[in-house]
Structure 1
């Protein structure tokens, strides 16, 4: 009798599948994802539902400085405005600043660092010296000056955006309703450009180092021998293999930019009243902490929870994408 033996072949797992498995085992990172999901959905979804929360800019002086209650979950401020709605609407702006500005800075940094690391030689030296010069500049002062210099364009941008969404034949009421949600974003465009245009320096160095290391690998030499163009080699073979550190740095950049926006808003250089961000609310709460502690407590709680969660997520992604750095 002949015996037939079966050989079981274990299916291999990809880098991203292994990283997802390690990330799920990281309880701090998993909890951070859960916290971020709650905060993001609360700030982005709840204000979009008509009649669910109160107008964040509606004043009711007889109800000013009230403590949390069933009518006002987080209390009211010195003008009788609902803190709960202001925290959610302010979170929209703070999250938008963090995400959009990070996207701008990471995109510039990836392109700059990738080109410098791939071409090397004189081009690399020149591009990195420009990065060194920009590093030497006082970041806060340059952002303020750059933001102020391009601020006049926001009025035209706001009007054009309102006409785009409301329509040229819309009524005044419809235009005002559209302007209510458009203006807080368009007025921050100078801030997006100013911060994003100068916060890409670190990521450019990270990408440059990654590109130089990967460009020495055998599969890149094989791609060159096949006659592939430099563009194809760089953007289809080298950069996809550099995504791990880039993703980690991105998650760690978002809280830094949100904190910087809060600093500018605290100094009165960010969001314009009556619109709010977490930085604006924290500044108002700090000035009225003794009379109304809730005005400082709740926006600080949301802001701190978001920053901690993003940092824990960044640490978890670093360990998941780089097993050598894992503590397991």
Structure 2
């Protein structure tokens, strides 16, 4: 277009709408296929952990004594080879011998034989079993010494198998995911809040105040983390709140140093100096100008801190310092699976896959956010 040319009025009538840096970062994040896929996978895992236990049909703390350490299977239990031995076991408690065991779909017909009349009240042992329902006498002979009994079969699905106590591993893995994700998110939230406020205050005030505050951080760094957790266990016992406090109260130190470094450069910017010249209070400058401009590195570090916290919780649970029964976490399940790896590999396999999937998703999301918020790529 020639110099001095006038643009048509149709072109100038609509105002030009700019894009914020956060909108551009969101666009770059959406174009990152690995990060976007990880977001959907992590959301699916989180929803499965939250709502899945309501649909498995097994409470996470329900014990099935007859299904201890059964293998993962897509077919219903009991299997055909489990029925007759359990019928004989229950018949022995009834003080009778089981003969002519016939399986017809979800019902069993069995003849109970005893040298003495069989007390029909003892047939309640069938219902107390995890395999059978309430037994009904269909035929009686020889003064009650021969009973033909119809027994319904209780069908149960254990897609991930069961543990050493006979609890459904799928439900417990979902419950463990709930607790591990909750500890990871809550402890990370505490670390972010404490670290951002402490680091921003220290970096902005500077001078002797900054020196004293950062030396306090160095002192806390010197304390051994495991000793700190053991001390909390001694005073407060093992519980969910303990893990939340112990991990969150340690991980904020790194966040404080990161935010302090960002604040040292931000406080020299023109908009901060303009706010100071206008008489804005120190608290207002930190809240409205310093902290919002450190959120880029903070968001990236947060996605990397969540998997770190989950690994720390899993490590502490592996050592026996984690949550208490009947609650569980991924670290507890992996610890139990490692003890039974020779005879029950599924106890280690499925919790490990869940933990690895969560950690990979969080790391991919962190990498995507780092690339999206990198000012060199703008």
Range of TM-score over shorter length: 0.7 to 0.9
Distance (Å, rounded) in 1 between the aligned partners of 2:286 and 2:168: 52
> Per-residue deviation at 1:323?
3.7
Q: 1:148 aligns with which of 227, 234, 239?
A: 234
1:233 alignment partner in structure 2:
285
Q: Deviations over 1:289-315 (max 9, x none)?
A: 111111100000000000111011111
Q: Larger % of helix: which?
A: 1
2:87 alignment partner in structure 1:
none
1:14 alignment partner in structure 2:
20
2:306 alignment partner in structure 1:
254
Q: In the superposition, relative to structure 1, how do residues 101 and 32 fare at CA in structure 2: closer, same or farther (>3 Å)?
A: same
Distance (Å, rounded) in 1 between the aligned partners of 2:301 and 2:371: 12
Q: Is the 8 A contact 2:177 2:330 kept in 1?
A: yes
Q: 1:92 aligns with which of 172, 175, 178?
A: 178
Q: In the superposition, relative to structure 1, how do residues 116 and 4 fare at CA in structure 2: closer, same or farther (>3 Å)?
A: closer
Q: Is the 8 A contact 1:46 1:53 kept in 2?
A: no
Q: Which has the higher contact order (CA 8 A, sep 6+)?
A: 1
How many residues get paired? 289
1:288 alignment partner in structure 2:
340
Compare CA radii of gyration and give the structure with the larger one. Answer: 2
Q: 2:8 aligns with which of 1, 5, 8?
A: 5
Q: Deviations over 1:243-287 (max 9, x none)?
A: 000111111001001000000100100011222110000000000
TM-score of the aligned structures, taking structure 2 as reference length? 0.73
Aligned Cα RMSD in Å? Answer: 1.9
Are residues 1:80 and 2:166 paired? yes
Q: Deviations over 1:73-117 (max 9, x none)?
A: 111112221110000011111111101111111111111101100
Matched position secondary structure for 2:311 = helix
Q: Is the 8 A contact 1:114 1:207 kept in 2?
A: yes
Matched position secondary structure for 1:101 = helix
Q: Is the 8 A contact 2:52 2:171 kept in 1?
A: no
* Stretches (4+) displaced over 4 A: none
TM-score of the aligned structures, taking structure 1 as reference length? 0.84
Distance (Å, rounded) in 1 between the aligned partners of 2:323 and 2:27: 40
Q: Larger % of strand: which?
A: 2
Distance (Å, rounded) in 2 between the aligned partners of 1:4 and 1:231: 48
1:62 alignment partner in structure 2:
66
> Any unmatched runs of 5+ in structure 1?
155-186
Q: Is the 8 A contact 1:147 1:194 kept in 2?
A: no
> Per-residue deviation at 1:63?
1.4
Deviates more, 1:10-19 or 1:304-313: 10-19
> Any unmatched runs of 5+ in structure 2?
1-5, 75-156
Q: In the superposition, relative to structure 1, how do residues 248 and 53 fare at CA in structure 2: closer, same or farther (>3 Å)?
A: farther
For residues 99-110 of structure 1, the aligned pairs below 5 Å read 99-110=185-196
